[in-house]
């Protein structure tokens, strides 16, 4: 199975995506199978100053970068390639998937056809014995012993979400075998 973590950063809360990343990992080994990552030019939109402080991305950095449609097409092409190459099923995850899903749906409309599972929900279910103080990405990574230094950048967050999902899927499978 291929475990894929997806993350976006936004210029505002109206579907203005300014960075996209997807990281595919082999379920069994954790080996990285692919990365699709890019800054994204959301076009002529109002940038939220709070969002810029959170992720550090500014309008001048994304001018001339691909639009979300082009980056999304690269991601879909990679999904098709991986399916053909490996023949293995895939599961796509995001940390707080409802946010990623809502923003991608605003930006892509009907083209947003990929189902996301939520690593926050998985962590709430699968980490009960650790009782993390919250289920934010850095906290879950800390509890699970996953190296995570940079937050609110799409590639680092996607990689962390993929590794959280991978470990929890393995744990769930092992618990099911007991």
User: 50 by DSSP, 3-state: which?
Assistant: helix
Domain ranges of the chain: 2-177
Contact 35, 23 (CB under 8 A): yes
Q: Which residue has the higher pLDDT, 132 or 76?
A: 76
Over residues 44-82, the pLDDT tens digits come to: 999 999 999 999 999 999 999 999 999 999 999 999 999
Over residues 148-158, the pLDDT tens digits come to: 887 889 999 99
pTM of the model: 0.94
pLDDT at 177: 63
The CATH number assigned to the domain with range 2-177 reads: 3.30.420.10
């Amino acid at each position: 199975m291929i475990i894929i973590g997806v993350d976006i950063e936004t210029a505002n809360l109206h579907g203005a995506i300014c960075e996209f990343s997807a990281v595919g990992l082999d379920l069994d080994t954790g080996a990285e199978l692919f990365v699709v990552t890019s800054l994204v030019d959301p076009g002529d939109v109002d940038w939220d100053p709070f969002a810029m402080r959170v992720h550090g991305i500014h309008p001048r950095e994304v001018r001339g970068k691909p639009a979300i449609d082009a980056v999304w097409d690269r991601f879909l092409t990679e999904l098709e390639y991986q399916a053909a190459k490996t023949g293995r099923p895939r599961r796509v995850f995001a940390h707080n998937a409802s946010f990623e899903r809502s923003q991608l749906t605003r930006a892509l409309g009907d083209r947003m056809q990929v189902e996301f599972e939520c690593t926050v929900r998985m962590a709430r279910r699968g980490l009960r014995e650790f009782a993390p103080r919250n289920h934010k990405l850095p906290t879950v990574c800390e509890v699970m012993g996953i190296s995570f230094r940079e937050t609110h950048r799409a590639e680092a967050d996607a990689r962390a979400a993929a590794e959280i999902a991978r470990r929890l899927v393995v744990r769930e499978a092992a618990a099911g075998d007991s």
